[in-house]
Structure 1
Amino acid sequence: MKKQWWHGKVAYQIYPKSFNDTNGDGVGDLRGIIEKLDYLKDLGIDIVWISPMFTSPFVDQGYDISDYQGIAPIFGTMEDMDELIAEAKKRDMHILLDLVLNHCSDEHEWFQKALADLEGEYADYFHIVDEKEDGSMPSNWRSTFGGPTWTKIPGTNKYYLHIFAKEQPDVNWENPKLRQEMYDMINWWQDKGISGFRLDAIANIKKDMEYKSFPADREDGLVSKFRMVESVSGIEVFLKELKEKTFSQIDALTVAELSSFDRAKLEEYVGDDGYFSTIFDLSTDSMEVSGNGWYDRNPITANNYRQVIYDSIREIEGIGMKANIIENHDEPRGVSHYIPEEDCNDYSKKMLAAILFMRPGLPFLFQGQEIGMENTPFETIDEFDDLFTHNEYQVALDAGIEPEQALKLVNKYSRDNGRTPMQWNNQANGGFTTGTPWLKVNPNYATINVEDQLTDENSVWAFYQKLIALRKDETYGEAFVYGGFDPIFEDQDNIVAFYRRGEDKTILLLANFQNSVAELPFTEKIDDILINNYEELAATATGVTLQPHQAVIVSVD
């Protein structure tokens, strides 16, 4: 694996709508990010990924883009964006943008021109298809947010394709003019000083142009759009051209959201000469999915969490690095997702953090993760903003789940849990805004907030800061970033333990993923305790005793 400029760094995702509001309108803004750059620098962050702040009607929170080269007024101006890029560079920090290439907004100029002339050149920028002879839609694919992927154009016999919401028409990557428009836009941002991109839903850009149906997988007669995505080949042609005409020009850091692709081609995707720098490891999120909906998710255990992580690490050994997460804007809060509610405390939060930073790969934090933000109690379905959540609530009701239980389910899994405003202090609205926040603030901001944790040397924030510093340490950093992965105690329930063997140093993680004491046989000499979420480690010449959710990183001889 060739060493890259981003390998030893730490990244942080900002959801701009919920990060920091400086003008009191209840919505975060670019000036709010600028204001907090020193905060991120003090934490140890090098790379900042900003979720979409482009011009948008916000049907899907900015992932429906109406102008790729415009800033949504609620976030500020292009001058603010230029200042953010410049201020980040002053601090030796890098900005990544969220790149949505599969679809745009139905308010985008391209789509409006397509609707105005269904035989014109812009109609071929999209998948606009005649209805079948019997008047039905072209195929039975189900969209991500529920219902068909096809919407009929009024007054015509034609449908347009949308893998996501009907306000998000998919663009046609088979069209070279469309592709060149995208490349020009990407290069325009790179010329502004952007260091790279997170690529949203990139696996979806290749379509089955025959629009074939598949056997239904639910009673609605539809089939998951993933069935189509997995059935087509040839996306590599697009990805190779995309890299050659854009990202390779500046050695950009590109992080792909790839939920469905041929794993046998992993080296083509993220090897030394891959289409992308890295891909997000979303394996822990998908390990619960049954295919029926949130109401039918499989339970998480410490053992299957461990197994999924280990399998993911082994999959990419010798090929490249993955981008590792606990949570993001598409997930509930990780500490509420992977830890039982009764066990969610500072010890278990720090344990998850230690596992994240010891794993091979590039660690990504999501805003608020560094203070251990938790799921928010939403009291009614109307308090949720997220399209996906409303759809899954209805799916649960249709499956016969009682409304009270359906609400409890979406509370647990909703993406809005990760989108609630950042908790800066214990003042009104957690210090996020002086106005009315666009989404409910978690009431626990009184006890979980940045201001309190910055002055507490034992806080979750301080623990993350120590982990980040250790990853960059002159003595141990090489083992963290490039060290080999060697697990132990795989036969022990609820124990996550593995070595990272570097050229000069070997470090070891011992994490007790349970709310009870664990006794482990261990005879190696511990040179130094580098990280510990407890004050002490009970170790003898023959064994180690770990307290509930204790996590230690040690240097061994």
Structure 2
Amino acid sequence: MNHSTGQDWWRKSTVYQVYPKSFKDTTGSGTGDIRGLTGKLDYLQELGIDIVWLQPVYVSPQNDNGYDVADYRRISEDFGSMEDFDQLAAGLKKRGMSLMTDIVVNHSSTEHPWFQEAKLSRDSRYRDYYIWRDPGPDGGLPNNWQSKFGGPAWQWEEATGQYFLTLFDKTQADLNWENSKVRQEVADLMSFWAEKGVSGFRMDVINLISKDQEFLNDDGSKPPGDGRKFYTDGPRVHEYIKELYKRVFGPHNVVTVGEMSSTTLEHCIRYSNPHEQEFSMTFNFHHLKVDYPGGNKWELMPYDFEALKRLLSEWQTGMQQGGGWNALFWNNHDQPRALSRFADDGKYRIESAKMLATTLHGLQGTPYVYQGEEIGMPNPQWKDISEFRDIESTNMYRILQEQGKSAEEALTILRERSRDNSRTPMLWDDSRNAGFTSGTPWLKIDERYKEINVASQLPNPDSILNHYKQVIALRKQEQVITDGRYKRLDEQHPQIFAYERDNGQDTLVVVSNFSGQEAEFTFPDDLWTQAGAYEAELLSSNTAQAPAWEKQMQLSPYASYMWIIRNT
């Protein structure tokens, strides 16, 4: 691991996110496994990846794809053994790469031994590990909080006559962080993995762990009125995270990323400013809601390009001013493919995929590449509801029809919005099942695997894969990508997103056309006065011919360029 740059070595790193179920199967079970990932480490090293984020592989009933943990210290047989895990960690270490694992501690599975004991009696020593409440005054629910997966956030437990809190699935019981024993258990289980060679943690919905202890009804005065204002970035959340830093993050020198649900810029500055001693960086999701009409994920609209640019810019500028650090991403296991969402996954698929890469990798933060993104995997072509596996999607298919949509309309929405869009198996080559499995894949393989796959792109210098390799390498070569001040340049241009990064030594300029039409862009006077006199060096281009470095330029559809002006 390259710790030569000190404590914040991860500022120049790129993270690769692995959804293990869909990455590579070595047993013919149809489901990916840990050995499958270990066998592909040379590929990831060649791509330039520093940190591999492995999503949950713990023992779990899999009601929420492993984010419902029944044993935090054991590997699920579905994914392999602890020996397999140790080999993966050793393989990464040998290559100078780091392993980041997912830690899910806002809740546990109701199948976890703690909960199994807690539910038996109000006197159980584990009772206070969870959040229990008596029925409300009317004999019903304790309050009107809603689950993030739909329905009330409370489940009734007959044996002890109380409700327990479930902010997600009804089998995911929220842990009671007010209890110091719970906090100690979490620190212990994280230390267990750190001692096994894990050098990074991604903390699932970690900003929800502190609940307002009055458990009041949400009066709806602040939308969406589902209770989240009482537990999002809650009263003691920073205190709890500082405690974890003292016990685990600091002593083990690990890189950490907090996944932040419905958070604010102000909180993310606090979570990720090094002086606060909390996290290395944070994920926020505001830029991935720009195609939700009125905030509703399950209605379709073209994305709001200006809102996308404004949000990315606000977080760049705000985090810089506050000394925070961004986790940068277009894709993950819960989102449709950005290529299909913000660009063109058909005629201009190759230009589009490279354009999205260049735009993101010029920003300040630590970039995350989600498996398949680096070869331009699009949303698959769904034919029928029977092809979907995600519980959220199949529930919504029913609910949308109950709300008056036809079956065809509901399916059209799922095609765009389903989490299964990003979960289809990785496309390795043009052999049967795209080289993912010799068995029957757990989720369909995208039919376009014959032309979209890793094997065909590796030898081609102009491939999407090789473009990713190039932009990942630039972050290590050019200091301005790490520390340059961000400034937006495009003045609400309907097609172009343009920005500069300047650190006093060098100026980096990125100009991207997000449309399928030609676009004209004129640099602002102040930048041109300062930069026009210098020779600009083209660092990255996604077209055969880049335009000349001039104040006014023409960009072909989905064209994207990165220049550097060396002021020294």
Partners of 1:72 and 1:303 lie apart in 2 by 44
Q: Could you tell which deviates more after superposition, 437-446 or 514-523?
A: 514-523
Q: Does 1:179 align with 2:188?
A: no
Partners of 2:45 and 2:112 lie apart in 1 by 36
User: Secondary structure of the equivalent of 1:68?
Assistant: strand
Partner of 1:204: 208
Partner of 1:17: 21
Partner letter of residue 323 of structure 1?
A
Pick from 528, 544, 557 the counterpart of residue 553 of structure 2.
Answer: 544
Taking structure 1 as reference, are residues 277 and 376 closer, same or farther at Cα in structure 2, changes over 3 Å only?
A: same
TM-score, length basis structure 1: 0.94
In the TM superposition, residue 302 of structure 1 has moved relative to its aligned partner by: 2.8
Partner letter of residue 320 of structure 2?
E
Q: How does 1:299-318 map to 2 (within 5 A)?
A: 299-318=302-321
Q: How does 1:238-249 map to 2 (within 5 A)?
A: 238-249=240-251
Partner of 1:235: 237
Is this contact kept in 2: 1:303–1:494, CA < 8 A?
Answer: no
Deviation digits for residues 363-409 of structure 1 (CA, Å, limit 9, x no counterpart): 00000000011111223333222122223333422332222111111
Q: How does 1:476-555 map to 2 (within 5 A)?
A: 477-522=478-523, 524=532, 525-539=534-548, 541-555=550-564
Partner letter of residue 257 of structure 1?
E
| Identity between Structure 1 and Structure 2 (%) | 37
Partners of 2:462 and 2:254 lie apart in 1 by 37
Pick from 246, 256, 259 the counterpart of residue 257 of structure 1.
Answer: 259
Partner letter of residue 45 of structure 1?
I
Q: Does 1:4 align with 2:30?
A: no
In the TM superposition, residue 156 of structure 1 has moved relative to its aligned partner by: 4.5
In the TM superposition, residue 542 of structure 1 has moved relative to its aligned partner by: 4.5
Is this contact kept in 1: 2:121–2:160, CA < 8 A?
Answer: no
Deviation digits for residues 61-80 of structure 1 (CA, Å, limit 9, x no counterpart): 00000000000001111111
In the TM superposition, residue 255 of structure 1 has moved relative to its aligned partner by: 0.3
Q: Which runs of 5+ in 1 are unaligned?
A: none
Partners of 2:517 and 2:20 lie apart in 1 by 39
Q: Could you tell which deviates more after superposition, 446-455 or 399-408?
A: 399-408
Partner of 1:82: 86
User: Secondary structure of the equivalent of 1:353?
Assistant: helix
Partners of 1:291 and 1:181 lie apart in 2 by 40
Q: Could you tell which deviates more after superposition, 181-190 or 496-505?
A: 496-505
Partner letter of residue 540 of structure 2?
I
Partner of 1:393: 397
Q: Does 1:443 align with 2:452?
A: no
Partners of 1:337 and 1:225 lie apart in 2 by 30
Q: How does 1:458-477 map to 2 (within 5 A)?
A: 458-473=462-477, 477=478
Q: Does 1:406 align with 2:407?
A: no
In the TM superposition, residue 265 of structure 1 has moved relative to its aligned partner by: 3.7
Partner letter of residue 268 of structure 1?
R
Q: How does 1:327-346 map to 2 (within 5 A)?
A: 327-340=331-344, 344-346=348-350
Q: Could you tell which deviates more after superposition, 79-88 or 377-386?
A: 377-386
Is this contact kept in 1: 2:344–2:352, CA < 8 A?
Answer: no
In the TM superposition, residue 290 of structure 1 has moved relative to its aligned partner by: 4.7
Deviation digits for residues 87-132 of structure 1 (CA, Å, limit 9, x no counterpart): 1011000000001010111111001011222321211111122212
In the TM superposition, residue 264 of structure 1 has moved relative to its aligned partner by: 2.8
Q: Could you tell which deviates more after superposition, 408-417 or 112-121?
A: 112-121
Is this contact kept in 2: 1:423–1:445, CA < 8 A?
Answer: yes
Number of residues of Structure 1 aligned to a counterpart in Structure 2: 551
Q: Which runs of 5+ in 2 are unaligned?
A: 1-5
Partners of 2:230 and 2:307 lie apart in 1 by 29
In the TM superposition, residue 428 of structure 1 has moved relative to its aligned partner by: 1.1
Partner letter of residue 300 of structure 1?
Y
Partners of 2:489 and 2:535 lie apart in 1 by 16
In the TM superposition, residue 354 of structure 1 has moved relative to its aligned partner by: 0.4
In the TM superposition, residue 342 of structure 1 has moved relative to its aligned partner by: 5.6
Partners of 1:528 and 1:139 lie apart in 2 by 60
Is this contact kept in 2: 1:325–1:356, CA < 8 A?
Answer: yes
In the TM superposition, residue 499 of structure 1 has moved relative to its aligned partner by: 1.5
Partner letter of residue 312 of structure 1?
W
Deviation digits for residues 6-28 of structure 1 (CA, Å, limit 9, x no counterpart): 11111100001110111111111
User: Secondary structure of the equivalent of 2:394?
Assistant: helix
Taking structure 1 as reference, are residues 371 and 540 closer, same or farther at Cα in structure 2, changes over 3 Å only?
A: closer
Is this contact kept in 1: 2:481–2:501, CA < 8 A?
Answer: yes
Is this contact kept in 2: 1:512–1:548, CA < 8 A?
Answer: yes
Partner of 1:267: 269
Q: Could you tell which deviates more after superposition, 535-544 or 28-37?
A: 535-544
Task: Please give the root-mean-square deviation of Cα atoms over the aligned residues, in Å.
Answer: 2.1
Partners of 1:381 and 1:225 lie apart in 2 by 32
Is this contact kept in 2: 1:18–1:421, CA < 8 A?
Answer: yes
User: Secondary structure of the equivalent of 1:497?
Assistant: strand
User: Secondary structure of the equivalent of 1:375?
Assistant: coil
Taking structure 1 as reference, are residues 262 and 464 closer, same or farther at Cα in structure 2, changes over 3 Å only?
A: closer
Is this contact kept in 2: 1:146–1:391, CA < 8 A?
Answer: no
Partner letter of residue 426 of structure 2?
M
Taking structure 1 as reference, are residues 541 and 418 closer, same or farther at Cα in structure 2, changes over 3 Å only?
A: closer
Partner of 1:32: 36
Partners of 2:172 and 2:274 lie apart in 1 by 34
Is this contact kept in 1: 2:208–2:261, CA < 8 A?
Answer: no
Partner letter of residue 251 of structure 2?
Q
Deviation digits for residues 325-374 of structure 1 (CA, Å, limit 9, x no counterpart): 01001111110121255665111111111001001110000000000111
Is this contact kept in 1: 2:271–2:324, CA < 8 A?
Answer: no
Partners of 1:199 and 1:541 lie apart in 2 by 45
Partner of 1:288: 291
Taking structure 1 as reference, are residues 291 and 51 closer, same or farther at Cα in structure 2, changes over 3 Å only?
A: farther
In the TM superposition, residue 152 of structure 1 has moved relative to its aligned partner by: 0.9
User: Secondary structure of the equivalent of 1:185?
Assistant: helix
Partner of 2:3: none
Deviation digits for residues 436-472 of structure 1 (CA, Å, limit 9, x no counterpart): 1111111111111101111211111011011112222
In the TM superposition, residue 179 of structure 1 has moved relative to its aligned partner by: 1.2
User: Secondary structure of the equivalent of 1:538?
Assistant: coil
TM-score, length basis structure 2: 0.93
Partner letter of residue 549 of structure 1?
Y
Is this contact kept in 2: 1:506–1:556, CA < 8 A?
Answer: yes
Partners of 1:223 and 1:382 lie apart in 2 by 34
Partner of 1:276: 279
Taking structure 1 as reference, are residues 471 and 57 closer, same or farther at Cα in structure 2, changes over 3 Å only?
A: same
Q: Could you tell which deviates more after superposition, 436-445 or 277-286?
A: 277-286
Partner letter of residue 493 of structure 1?
P
Partner of 1:149: 153
Partner of 1:359: 363
